[in-house]
Structure 1
Amino acid sequence: MTTLLVIAKEPVPGRVKTRLTPAFTPAQASLLAEAALADTLEAVAAAPAERRVLVLDGRTGPWLPPGIEVVPQCSGGLDERLAAAFACCPGPALLIGMDTPQVTPALLAPATGPDAWQEHDAWFGPALDGGFWALGLAAPDPALLRGVPMSVSETGAVQYGRLLAAGLRVGRLPRLRDVDTAEDAQLVAGEAAGTRFAARYARFASASAASASRPVRP
């Protein structure tokens, strides 16, 4: 079976989702990140897996469900941290981030089912911003990630090219939107009805609209 990896930061104001400001305060942005992380971990907990591992920068909180191992992230750039996450897996592994609260066990199913690796050596989930939200490897090889430029518009294309150049049979997962900006948050909340993220976004957006509509007193 597949090991499910989630790479994440502790949701601390000023350290996560900074591009959600000024539409949201740093505290609200961190609470949206917390909701996204909780939704992601809930999906992972419900998906079939040999192990479920949170690769965390920071400390755990009440958002961590039971049954999830926690290991610290290594230092270095994101490519090095992703490579190190795969290095701890002796067998097939699928890594996702904390930026797609709309993820479900059904979306992960092609890479977590009993026949996930019969015809594929890798799985790739592209993101709308040009990156990727999921990467699976039947035989995790950190060298496939090291040196890939991260957080740029060509990240996904370069990573996908690495997989193909290595001769891997790559399966494609659905294209998803990462939550990076306030517009992303609005669109993802609309796609993810019933999630913590959608509920928290609605509350903050409603409060912001109410505040903006109050008359300014001279």
Structure 2
Amino acid sequence: MNIRILVFAKAPLPGRAKTRLEPALGAKGAAQLATAMLDGTLTHCLAAELGPVELCMSPAPGHSDWRAFSLPAGLVQSDQGDGDLGARMARSAQRGLAQQDAVILVGTDCPQLCVNLLQTAATRLARCDALLHPTRDGGYALLGLRRFSPTLFEHIPWSTSQVASLTRQRLDALGWHWHEGETLQDIDEPGDLLQLPGRWMNHYAERM
């Protein structure tokens, strides 16, 4: 099964990326962490070798906000476009499913999205219609799809604790066979920084 991984990211600039972490890290520190998480996510997604890896970018590829960042070779680059997060994810998922057997949608906020987790997700997805990895704050870090329905993305209060529960309800209402994977940890709030991998913790501890 050929899978397209869709990575959603905004340019990790001070004052624009991971702003909820600024009380602990400052604007520059939050942007540095956002850059590290973007780099790590893309590295793992490419190393998983599941199929094309598409970076869905905000702002669009070629914008000056991206000039300072070196992106790895082999990426497909696309513009997230207009609308709320749901509209942008829906467009990318529908386009991806027209090109590959399945799509895996991820952000860059979860350091646990390693090669093994992605490959395990692909194996599980081969046996079902959809796969959800929820996060401890009520969102999700990974959504895998072999079928498309706009209802998974419409009228969802993004960045709230209702996201995963509403997505579960929509999947059940569709009558799809779906699997829920392990609960993961996003890094969104200052308290989440305690969950950073040890290799990063020392670097950011001085800013906490």
- TM-score over 0.5 for the alignment? yes
User: What residue in structure 2 maps to residue 8 of structure 1?
Assistant: 9
- Post-superposition shift, 1:140? 2.8
The correspondence of residues 13-162 of structure 1 with structure 2, limited to 5 A, is 13-58=14-59, 59=63, 60=66, 61-89=68-96, 90=98, 91-113=101-123, 116-117=125-126, 119-162=127-170
- Post-superposition shift, 1:63? 4.3
What amino acid is aligned across from residue 36 of structure 2 in structure 1? A
Q: Tell me which structure has the larger Cα radius of gyration.
A: 1
Task: Tell whether the 8 Å contact from 1:37 to 1:101 is kept in structure 2 after alignment.
Answer: no
Percent identical pairs in the alignment equals: 32
In 2, distance between residues paired with 1:140 and 1:21?
36
In 1, distance between residues paired with 2:176 and 2:193?
34
Could you say what the CA RMSD is over the residues aligned between the two structures, in angstroms?
A: 1.7
Unaligned ranges ≥5, structure 1: 210-218
Q: Between Structure 1 and Structure 2, how many residues are aligned?
A: 198
User: What residue in structure 1 maps to residue 192 of structure 2?
Assistant: 184
User: What residue in structure 1 maps to residue 205 of structure 2?
Assistant: 205
TM norm structure 2: 0.88
Deviations 1:178-217 (A, max 9, x none): 1101221221x2xx244xxx1xx422322x47xxxxxxxx
- Post-superposition shift, 1:120? 0.3
In 1, distance between residues paired with 2:204 and 2:122?
34
Unaligned ranges ≥5, structure 2: none
Moved over 3 A (4+): 59-63
Secondary structure of the 1:180 match is coil
User: What residue in structure 2 maps to residue 212 of structure 1?
Assistant: none
TM norm structure 1: 0.84
In 2, distance between residues paired with 1:203 and 1:116?
36
CA 1:63/1:98 → structure 2, altered by over 3 Å: closer, same or farther?
Answer: farther
What amino acid is aligned across from residue 112 of structure 1 in structure 2? A
Secondary structure of the 2:53 match is strand
In 1, distance between residues paired with 2:4 and 2:148?
11
Secondary structure of the 1:100 match is coil
In 1, distance between residues paired with 2:148 and 2:156?
16
In 1, distance between residues paired with 2:159 and 2:58?
17
What amino acid is aligned across from residue 105 of structure 1 in structure 2? V
What amino acid is aligned across from residue 140 of structure 1 in structure 2? F
